[in-house]
């Protein structure tokens, strides 16, 4: 039996998308993990965090919550992530999970000065990504799905920033050799992204953006999904050492 991955569930999709199940399911499918290859712990709902032993790695979901609210469940999860990162457990944070991991490791998270980033965005890799296990060999620029208001304003000390978008300077970072955060959503299909744009159309209009234009510009993002799958493969390889 392969060791399972732990998925820390930190929130739920927007209501209109919940008929497609939750973030852990989307992540498991996008990562190519079977039902018995993932253990889900709903930390937002108060589930206890397990010990690290026996897991190949941990993946932290996105959320509609804000890291800066310092909710008890969030801070408890941050402490767990801090300890896990220092212990060498492979970690992969997505959106809120990216921000929570940065916060846990001493970075700064807050509202993005430029406001919301939503839709299919184009990532630009830094030269440092060429030697990264998850990003090496990917195109210098590729599309990814994103939806967020808060951001990593300052990466943790010692972290390597790997990617940026026109809007966000820290779309991906690696801390140490086994912990990654990505602001984008590698588990989102184009359909998921369009569903989010529809759900946020009033907010987009109030911010001077056209929801129809944002939705029309949504496209597939296979390279972003590849980053998630690479994490799974890399974590499994590390566990086998």
Q: Which residues are catalytic?
A: 95, 185, 187
68, 70, 71, 76 alpha-carbon torsion, rounded to 10°: 130
Selection from 195, 80, 97 nearest residue 150 by Cα? 97
The Cα–Cα gap between 10 and 27 comes to 13
Going by their DSSP bridges, the two strands 108-111 and 150-154 should be labelled as antiparallel
Chain centroid to CA 8: how far? 11
Q: Phi then psi for 31, rounded to 5 degrees?
A: -85, -10
Give the N- to C-terminal CA distance of the chain in Å, as an integer: 16
């Amino acid at each position: 039996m392969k060791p399972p991955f732990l998925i820390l569930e930190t929130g739920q999709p927007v209501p209109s998308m919940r008929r497609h199940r939750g973030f852990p399911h989307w992540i498991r499918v996008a990562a190519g993990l079977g039902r018995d290859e993932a253990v889900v712990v709903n930390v937002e709902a108060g589930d206890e965090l397990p010990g690290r032993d026996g897991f190949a790695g941990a993946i932290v979901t996105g959320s509609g919550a804000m890291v800066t609210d310092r909710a008890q469940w969030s801070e408890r999860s941050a402490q767990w992530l801090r300890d896990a990162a220092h212990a060498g457990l492979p970690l992969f944070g997505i959106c809120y999970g990216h921000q929570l991991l940065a916060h846990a490791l001493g970075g700064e998270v807050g509202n993005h000065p430029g406001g919301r980033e939503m839709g299919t965005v184009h990532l630009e890799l830094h030269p440092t990504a060429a030697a990264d296990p998850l990003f090496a060999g990917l195109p210098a620029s590729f599309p990814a799905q994103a939806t967020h208001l808060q951001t990593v304003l300052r990466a943790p000390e010692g972290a390597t920033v790997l990617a940026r978008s026109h809007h966000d300077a820290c779309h991906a970072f690696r801390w140490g050799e086994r912990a990654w955060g990505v602001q984008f959503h590698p588990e989102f299909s184009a359909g998921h992204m369009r569903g989010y744009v529809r759900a946020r159309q009033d907010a987009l209009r109030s911010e001077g953006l056209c929801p129809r234009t944002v939705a029309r510009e949504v496209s597939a993002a296979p390279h972003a999904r590849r980053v998630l799958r690479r994490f799974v493969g890399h974590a499994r390889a590390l566990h086998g050492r």
